[in-house]
Structure 1
Amino acid sequence: MLGAGPLDERLCARVLLEDGPVRLDVAAESSGSHLAVPLRTGGHVVGALCVSVPAPRRWSERDVALLEELAGPVVAELELGALVATYEDDRLVWQVAVDAGGVGAFDWDLVTGELRWDDRLLDLFGLDRDGFAGTIEAFRASVHPEDRARVEAALGAAIDSCGTFESEYRIQLPSGHTRWVDARGQAVAGADGSAVRLLGAAHDSTARRDGDARVARVLESMPTAFYQLDADWRFAYVNGEAERLLAATRDSLIGRVVWDRFPAAVGGSFEEHYRRAVETGEPVAFEAYYPAPLDGWYEVRAWPSPDGLAVYFLDITDRRRAHDRLQEGAEQTQLLSDVSASLATTLDTEEAVRRLPQLIAPRVADWSIVTLLTEPAGVGTTAARPWRTNLRDAGHWHHDPVKRALVTVYASTRLRALSDSAPLARAATGQQPVIHRTDATQALLGSLAPGPARDAISALAPRSGAFIPLRARGRVVGLLSAFREEDREPFTDEDVALLLDLGNRAGLAIDNTRLFGLQRDLAEGLQRSMLTAPPAIDHLEVAVRYAPAAVAARVGGDWYDAFRQQDGATVVVIGDVIGHDVAAAAAMGQARTLLRGIAATTGAGPAAVLRDLEGAMRLLEVDVLATALVARLDRPDAGVPGPTRLRWSNAGHLDPVVVHPDGRVETLAPAVRDPLLGLGEGPGRTEQEVLLAPGSTVVLYTDGLVERRGEHLDAGLARLAEAVRELAAEDLTLGELCDRLLARLVPSGAADDIALVAVRLGSDGDEGDVVGAAPDGGSRDRR
């Protein structure tokens, strides 16, 4: 279907859609048979040529070829008609433009001397056809006397070179008024190559000239500096404000090349932006500094034009300096924030000291050294203890990697080489900042004994030095030595104030790490004093490990134990008191001691031991809530081969993991999970038991080994089982197995303490090894 509408419209539509001939051979409609071919121009179908006959007809290929041949002339005729219409439109537009612009034409025959003007040019000069003599003399008579010589010179140059004529001049009208005329022309060469005619046009430029004068008055009166550069980069115009800002008169600028008059602009922002504006034709805006003698910041806007470059500029020196002060204040605030944030993320003194020099270089100093006082409470010099014995250079940094080795040499040797009058000594003993603004090298060389430190400081050659006490809680905990080199301004009062602020923040951070270390060592020492190494046990290997939490106040809750009962059975215990502080450590000690005493004196099994422990805790009013797992290992009678019986009772603790001799890993989950210790009266304690073959390994642990924030416990237990399976295949000693488990499963900075007990059953006839926990968390072997 062609769709609704007249048949010829549908034919055209099909031709456009199919881009080829369309035949209707059978008179299916009352209009007869039809043939249509596309009309193409420029590779596009722009219409269709259609023929029709009233009777039915079958169109042949010859008919199609003939019609396609006729399509060519049709397209040509259509294109010609379009060109004629376009030409007429363009001619009318051109005519309207010429009339609107008031452009007049002239033709000067240089051979006959005849000068012909059109009516518009006659009107422009205020003449009529009868009043114009048609000679070059008549033209000269109309030109203003002050401009005649210049116009004649321009005409002569165009004729002599057979080139172009361009001139803007004044004419005197018969009425006595003056008018500006802008003329352009072209000399035409004859057979011998010399000019025989001069053709051209002119228009009235009075309004533009008047506008330029008004613009000049505006430019002179405005408070913004302005100058115009011509196409050769020469000053063409300079207003009064530009004279003032450039500190030069316009007479000394007009005609001079900007790059010669202001050489500091070459190769800088001014030349870069000016040339880019001219090359691209796009305006530019930028801020730039010009050195002495101007010594100022300028906001510049430049617009390119056919005549050159127009430049407007303002002196923004005061604004820029205020902005720089504001920016400097913001940068100082950011620096203080960065130092506080960075130092607050570590509780390690050595790490804090390493970070500080890197944070301040190069923002405040080129390089620096941080010195710690080994005894912050007393920094004064005494006969028994000179000041240098109380100091330790603990961190240093230079922002230039090439010079870091020199700083390392200086920092590692200076304390022994400095005299008592050295700036660092005066800052340490006087507990006040010591500043050398421009003579730091001389001051240091004068206080250093010959040697590596003196050679290093001579090579570093600092210009400015500041020695700042690091204060915290009313005492000095360290010193910061900061240095700037020759290519940098010396320390100002503002810089010293910033360094003092940095020193106070750094001192507090360093003191916090020191106090943390003391608290951590105290708590960890208490914890370890209550975790004894297991006894030597035949045919049994036991390894124990304790890893404190990264936060000092969180140690104290986890414990382990291993001992023998009177009948020779071995008891292994793992537990975790709820809470992470020194109080939890004390509660743990009580629970551990009670459990050890009950198991050793009664010889009872695991369930009975836990039941008696709860009773004792209630009777003695020991307020403890804890998980615990008590396991008892009963070997076969001596000389009788066979498996070891493992009985255990679990009070809410994590299930032990067993590695069988064949490498199979099994979690010993209870049929019934008993409640935690300390929850009061409840159901009786239950026991489970399993037989273990010689060579089996049992691993007991606390939750710090497997729990992670934001992660389900099952993921941690699966991770433990996989690690145990892989490490068991490496034929490790039991101590190595424990160490590798901790290294693999525990991230640095763990939030919880960890207790770990591993038991390996010896083969029949083995004497067995026992590996206990050393006080420092390492291991020791007992044979």
Structure 2
Amino acid sequence: MQDGAAAPGPELLAAGSGHRPGPVTDRFLETMPAAFCFLDRDWCIGYVNVEAERLIGRDRDELLGRLVWSAVPQLSDSPFEASFRSAVATGHPLTFEAAAPDGSGGWLEVRAWPGPDGLAVYALDVTDRRTAEQAARRAVARTALLARLSAELFGQRDAGAALGRLAQLVVPVLTDGCIVTVVDREGRARDIGSWHVDPARRPLMERYAQIRLDSLPASSPVAQALYAGTAVTESVAAVLDLMPAGPARDLLEALDPESAVVLPLTDEERTVGVLTLYLDRGRAVTEEDIDTARQVAAEAARAITRVHVQSQQAQLAEALQRSLLTEPPAIAGTAVVARYVPAAEAARVGGDWYDAFLQRDGDPVVVIGDVVGHDTAAAAAMGQLRGLLRGIAHHSGAGPADVLRGLDEAIAQMHTDTMATAAVARLERASGAVGPGGAWDRLRWANAATRPRWWSSRTARSPCSADRSAT
């Protein structure tokens, strides 16, 4: 039958009409693989075929002539009743899909044709089709999740921040709620991100993530994943039985998940974190979902290890740079104070330096510079340039501009790929007095950008400015 086709006439279907379907029609209706029934204008059941009996779960003798809402009470206040009444009220055929009223978890495609004598209803089991469509959609979603995860964790500089957003990526594709736990290089576990598909429960999940690790016993699934590297699937009721009374237990009860899947984040046989997935009632988790969750855990573990390596590199670079930056000298009558704060992101330290020293005539020189680059190579180059500038300034006794000019020439010969900026200032005695008894009353300074040898001399300005002074 097609939408808009006339409904089967009451002379064939209506109970009490004095007519029964003919042999061909009877055979067709009784053997068709779809459920079929007819409801008269008073919503009484006038006809049901064999498939409709099976679907409803009752014999036709118990159904014929009865009000449909009492004979099949599952249809009352449901999408079926709303759609049937809409079709009758508008006089237009209507097609919809709905969950099977028997609670089996199946799905039906239902078509309703209104006519002057009642409503003809056809229902076909489309559970397999919907299951296949849902499986295809979930497969696409899982693939998209892994692609986005890779881009988030390995396509950005700040992998640590991306790990904090990991919970938002896996919800709702794999789970209803999620908490991401990371173990730092000192072995301390902390929850760095949480999310829930239900916006109303996100604040609860966030508060729970802030305190749960202090309340979970050693036998909890999270502890097993952290310390034994064991993946665990457990009912939340069992987890609640392990937890002591307190705010954490109350929050988990309020979140009301049915079960939890806890996966260790393991890289090179070392657990570096935990992924906790919370599943609400009625959520079906497939083997494909679990396999994808394991892939997510593996990607996250590699990202955590990368964060640890970056942190270690940053600490090494900072230690190298600090070792190259000596304490300012003691200068009679003058206080020299340095404040140095390295960048906090990954290993982005290395090129900045400061210095203070006395030239041969006793005048103090102060230097601030920056080698282009943000890594240990820049820190090493900085140490060499710092030493060069010190030596040139001390040996020559020259003013700031000449000192920088000499440094530029040295770089062009000995550090051809290095570029740096620097400012040099010297305190001088305008009166020309020498020795510790005189007062410094003039500041002479110059700044410069040194050039590598490949820099075009036709387009670049002079690397050094002239000395400038102030009294």
Distance in structure 2 (CA, Å) of the matches to 1:360 and 1:265: 36
What corresponds to 2:70 in structure 1?
A: 260
Q: Which residue of 2 aligns with 1:407?
A: 208
2:466 partner letter: Q
Counterpart-to-counterpart distance in 2, 1:546 and 1:449: 44
CA 1:689–1:212 in structure 2 vs 1: closer, same or farther (change >3 Å)?
farther
| Paired residues of 2:381 and 2:418 also in contact (CA < 8 A) | no
1:289 matched to 2:95: no
Change (3 A) 1:522 1:563: same
Q: Which residue of 1 aligns with 2:116?
A: 306
Aligned Cα root-mean-square deviation (Å): 4.3
Q: Which of 266, 276, 280 matches 1:471?
A: 266
1:714-753 superposed Cα distances (whole Å, 9 cap, x missing partner)? xxxxxxxxxxxxxxxxxxxxxxxxxxxxxxxxxxxxxxxx
SS at match of 2:350: coil
Partner of 1:315: 125
- CA deviations on 1:455-474 (whole Å, 9 max, x unpaired) are 76677676433332211234
Q: Is the 8 A contact 2:56 2:102 kept in 1?
A: no
Asked if 2 retains the 8 angstrom alpha-carbon contact of 1:409 and 1:453, the reply is no
* Cα distance in 1, alignment partners of residues 465 and 274 from structure 2: 62
What amino acid is the match of 1:465? A
Q: CA deviation at 1:593?
A: 0.7
SS of 2:165's equivalent in the other structure is helix
Residue identity matched to 1:479 = V
Partner of 2:83: 273
* Residue 288 of structure 1, CA deviation: 0.5
Q: What residue in structure 1 maps to residue 4 of structure 2?
A: none
Taking the aligned partners of 1:240 and 1:592, their CA distance within structure 2 comes to 94
Partner of 1:442: 238
Report how far residue 594 of structure 1 moved.
0.7
Q: 1:358-757 residue pairs with structure 2 within 5 A? A: 358-361=168-171, 364-374=174-184, 390-395=187-192, 397=194, 399=196, 400-401=201-202, 403-404=204-205, 407-408=208-209, 411-414=212-215, 418-419=217-218, 421-436=219-234, 438=235, 440-442=236-238, 445-446=241-242, 463-484=258-279, 487-488=281-282, 495-532=289-326, 534-535=328-329, 545=340, 547-548=342-343, 550-552=345-347, 554-614=348-408, 616-617=410-411, 621-633=414-426, 634=428, 636-637=430-431, 644=442, 646-648=444-446, 650-651=448-449, 676=451, 678=453, 687-692=465-470
SS at match of 2:215: helix
Identity of aligned residues (%): 40
For 2:203 and 2:464, the matched residues in 1 are separated by 70
1:561 CA drift (Å): 3.5
Structure 2 runs not aligned, ≥5 long: 1-9, 12-18
Residues 465 and 483, structure 1, Cα contact 8 Å, conserved in 2:
yes
What displacement does 1:587 show? 2.0
- Residue 576 of structure 1: CA displacement? 4.1
Alignment correspondent of 1:722: none
Indicate conservation of the 8 Å contact 2:34/2:123, yes or no.
yes
Q: Is the 8 A contact 1:606 1:687 kept in 2?
A: no
Cα distance, 1:285–1:422 mapped onto 2, change above 3 Å: closer
Residue 411 of structure 2 contacts residue 418 of structure 2 at CA under 8 Å; is this kept in 1? no
In 2, the alpha carbon distance for the partners of 1:686 and 1:498 equals 59
* Partner SS, residue 230 of structure 2: coil
Amino acid at match of 1:275: R
Cα deviation, 1:428-468, whole Å, max 9, x if unaligned, reads 444232333x4x5336635x567766676677676433332
Aligned partner of 1:19 in structure 2 is none
- Return the letter of the residue paired with 2:237: T
Q: Which residue of 2 aligns with 1:238?
A: 48
TM-score of the aligned structures, taking structure 2 as reference length = 0.75
> What is the SS of the residue equivalent to 2:317?
helix
Letter in 2 for 1:260: S
Question: What is the CA-CA distance between 1:275 and the residue it aligns to?
Answer: 1.6
Distance 1:368 1:414, change over 3 A: farther
Give the Cα–Cα distance (whole angstroms) in 2 for the partners of residues 298 and 445 of structure 1: 41
CA contact (8 A) 1:422 1:444 kept: no
Counterparts in 2 of 1:321 and 1:596: CA distance versus 1, 3 Å: same
Residues 363-384 of structure 1 show CA distances to partners (whole Å, capped at 9, x for unaligned) of 54455554444569xxxxxxxx
Cα 1:401/1:229, change in 2 over 3 Å:
same
CA distance in 1 between partners of 2:66 and 2:104 (Å)? 18
Q: How far has the Cα of 1:511 moved from its partner?
A: 1.4
Q: Secondary structure at the match of 1:411?
A: helix
Q: Secondary structure at the match of 2:102?
A: coil
CA contact (8 A) 1:396 1:407 kept: no
Distance, in Å, in 2 between the alignment partners of 1:347 and 1:684 is: 36
Residue identity opposite 1:628 in structure 2: T
CA distance in 2 between partners of 1:290 and 1:227 (Å): 15
SS in 2 for 1:255: coil
Q: What amino acid sits opposite 2:136 in the alignment?
A: L
The residue that corresponds to 2:3 in the other structure is: none
- Contact kept? 1:410, 1:456, Cα under 8 Å: no
CA distance in 1, matches of 2:402, 2:275: 63
- Matched AA of 2:407: L
Give the Cα separation in 1 of the matches to 2:123 and 2:270. Answer: 55
The residue type equivalent to 2:238 in the other structure is Q
Q: Which moved more, 1:567-576 or 1:253-262?
A: 567-576
Deviation at 1:504, TM superposition (A): 1.4
Alpha-carbon displacement from aligned partner over 1:381-439 (angstroms, at most 9, x marks no partner): xxxxxxxxx55233464632464477257514225xx24x5544444444232333x4x
TM-score by length of 1: 0.48
Alpha carbons of structure 1 residues 258 and 484: separation in structure 2 relative to 1, 3 Å: same
SS of the counterpart of 2:77?
coil
Cα gap change, 1:511/1:532 in structure 2, threshold over 3 Å: closer, same or farther?
Answer: same
